[in-house]
Structure 1
Amino acid sequence: MSGKRTPTLVDVAREAGVSPATASRVLNGSARAVGEPHRGRVTDAAARLGYVANTSAQELARGGSDFVALILTDLTDPQETAIAAGVVEEADRRGLFVTVSVTNGRPGRELELLHALRAQRPAAVVLAGHRATDVGAGGTTDALTDIRAGGGGVAIVGDSALPFDRVVPQNYEGARDLAVRLGGLGYESAAVLAGPSDDIAARDRTRGFVDGCAAAGVRIGAGGVVHGELSRAGGHAAALHLLALDGPRADVVLAVADTTALGAMVAIRDSGLAVPDDVSLAGFDDIDALRDVSPGLTTVRLPLRELGVTAVRVALSAPSAAPAARYVGARPVLRDSTPARRHQLVPLD
């Protein structure tokens, strides 16, 4: 074995001096014809490099376009931008480009975007924004079904009632595991900054944490689950509300997203308290911004980029006979914001 890597479509495009999209149209048999001299340059480059076309990519090219349509909720959300990076990475590897549309949480905007995409015949559509309890899912289902009938693939990041293949983070399990770990560190009471009550991921994380606290003997008192926006501002407001409640303060607070936790950390400091001396704090996602936070924030790590990569692979694969889910694990990462409250041999990550 020589150990030489297999040439990719991007290698052929670079050798031929054309875009990956043009190389894909030549080698994968797209209905969008490429004329000379570009066609000859691409085929000559493929022969020199020993490139072998991907059969599934050929089928996609003949049935649709050369782009993946990604729909997000909020382009400034670090979780969504990390997922988007994975989508771009995998699409680029396959010689496809990515268009990004944003709903900004506007009801009905997702459906408007899907209706516009039907005429453009994308190779695939990936829905990767925050999902509510699928209000209006009937129209979304119809639009996605039309896109798939036109040769486009579909994948959803996150749990959903929509009848399409999806890539699902184990939100419930990760939050439950974190609660059990915190119980083992000696925490006796907890509270949750739970995000919007209709957000599917936030709901699952809240439920997992509450169940884990019950299993570990950690109390969540009356008013200990506070709903609000999944944002720094939402976390700040929810934390101030929590701190203003009568009665003993919770030992540890979980914010169901890291961005929410960062806002809560500021609110705690604005109230004259300190993390973790007065209140311990944890988040969820392990976004890149946490590298600059002090004290280090305990969180639940999701492989966000991997979610995007996997979503493209799912969307470009043949659809399952029945909607299927690929689950992606989530694991607690303990840092300085949740130190042991009694002597424990539990290392920080």
Structure 2
Amino acid sequence: MNGRPHVTLEDVARSAKVSLATASRVLNGTTNVRSDLRERVVSAAADLAYTPNAHAQALAGASHRTVGVICHDVSDPYFAAIARGVMRVAGDNGLLVMLASTFRDPQKEIAYVSMLRAQRASAILLIGSGFENRTWERAMAAELDPYRRGGGQVAVVSRHRSLKVDTVQPENREGAAELALALLEMGHRRFAVLCGPRALTTVIDRLGGFRDALADAGVELSEEDIVEAPFTRDGGYDAMKQLLAAGSKATCVFAVTDVMAIGALTALREAGVSVPDELSLAGFDDIPVVRDMSPPLTTVALPLEELGEQAMKLAVERGPGTRSRIKRLSGEVVLRASTSPPR
């Protein structure tokens, strides 16, 4: 061994000044790429002595038994629960699951789809929120359309507006609206929302459903009442600290995902704010841990494992020429001790 560090595809893309997806397409030879871009990638690969992963290439020979699952962050309990459902159905059908996390980077998502195409995976599942981004939509369609024409199966979980593929769609807007009505019935009239980036369709739908239900009841949710932060536990923690520092008059805070609500609860505890005596807190998803929090979290319970199961079934059962299908799964408001009437 000469001690030289291993050169990755990311290194090649960075050196060639192209996206990860473009570098992958050039080196896998799966899609037409502009000649100048191709030359830059090939030159960078030669200069860096890039060697493709032999194991990944070997997978291509047997890839008709593999399924690629691309999620935003497999460490997030929301995605872990959905992936469990995917793997159960895949196992029943003798399929090997390859799992990738994008960490909400749209370019990584496109690059992983390109890699799975190169490995001739029999199906590709996207189990994260879509992006409200025309560039991403066009790039993703450019990868998925020829893959499907070649016999590959595609299914997604959550709303992806532009992708004409099989979809399992949790009713995010409807669930958030039902939660708003339940909190209004409890007596709350002043709300704040902790949300993730509004380029994500899940955030758009949950925030929109909650806000519209409040408006129908004559309760305004202004922009000052909405704090945008990363879609993570730390994002929820920082957003709640920001809300407290601003002197919010809200009696109830809605975090658009349970993971953000967990971080928010920690921030409230550190600030000496009692939940729900001084401030009520609600989330969305019903990941298992929120039932064991102190206090247990009010949330919208989604059938997370079923979302994964249904997506995998759509990919397995889909036949050539079948029109794209949409399966909708509803959530249920679960009131727990983190919310109470305002005092």
More off after superposition, 318-327 vs 231-240: 318-327
**Which residue is 2:224 aligned to?**
223
Q: Decide which structure has greater helix share.
A: 2
Cα distance, 1:219 vs. partner?
4.0
- CA distance in 1: counterparts of 2:68 and 2:151, whole angstroms: 13
- Any residues of structure 2 matched to 1:1-349 within 5 Å, and which? 65-134=64-133, 135-160=135-160, 161-221=162-222, 223-246=224-247, 249-316=249-316, 317-318=318-319, 322-341=323-342
Structure 1 SS opposite 2:274:
coil
Number of matched pairs: 279
Q: Alignment RMSD, CA only?
A: 1.8
Amino acid at match of 2:195: A
Q: Distance in 2 between matches of 1:256 and 1:238?
A: 12
Q: Helix, strand or coil for the counterpart of 2:224?
A: strand
Name the aligned partner's letter for residue 193 of structure 2. Answer: V
Q: Is the 8 A contact 1:179 1:216 kept in 2?
A: no
Tell me how far 1:66 sits from its aligned partner.
Answer: 0.7
1-structure distance, mates of 2:270, 2:291 = 22
CA contact (8 A) 1:87 1:312 kept: yes
Cα deviation digits, residues 55-91 of structure 1 (max 9, x gap): xxxxxxxx97011110111121111111100000011
1:129 is displaced (CA, Å) by: 2.0
The share of aligned pairs that are identical, in percent, is 40
CA offset digits 1:237-291 (Å, max 9, x no partner): 1111111224x52010000000000101111111121110111000000001113
Amino acid at match of 2:333: P
Change (3 A) 1:145 1:187: same
CA distance in 2, matches of 1:321, 1:66: 21
Q: Which amino acid aligns with 1:67?
A: T
Deviation per CA, 1:160-202: give whole Å up to 9, x if none.
1212121111000000001001111111211111211211101
Q: CA deviation at 1:113?
A: 1.4
Deviations 1:187-232 (A, max 9, x none): 1211111211211101110011111112234443551111111111
**In 1, Cα distance between the equivalents of 2:137 and 2:314?**
21
Structure 1 unmatched runs, 5+: 1-62, 343-349
Matched AA of 2:275: V
- Post-superposition, which runs of at least 4 consecutive aligned residues in structure 1 deviate over 4 A? 319-322
Q: CA deviation at 1:324?
A: 3.1
User: Considering only CA atoms, is the larger Rg found in Structure 1 or Structure 2?
Assistant: 1
Q: TM-score, normalised by structure 2?
A: 0.77
TM-score of the pair, normalised by structure 1: 0.76
- Check conservation: 1:69, 1:125, Cα contact below 8 A: yes
Answer with 123-132 or 223-232: which moved more.
123-132
Whole-angstrom distance in 1 between the partners of 2:105 and 2:159: 20
- Provide the C-alpha distance between the structure 1 equivalents of 2:223 and 2:72, rounded to a whole number of angstroms: 32
Name the CA distance, whole Å, in 1 between partners of 2:89 and 2:243: 42
Distance 1:245 1:210, change over 3 A: same
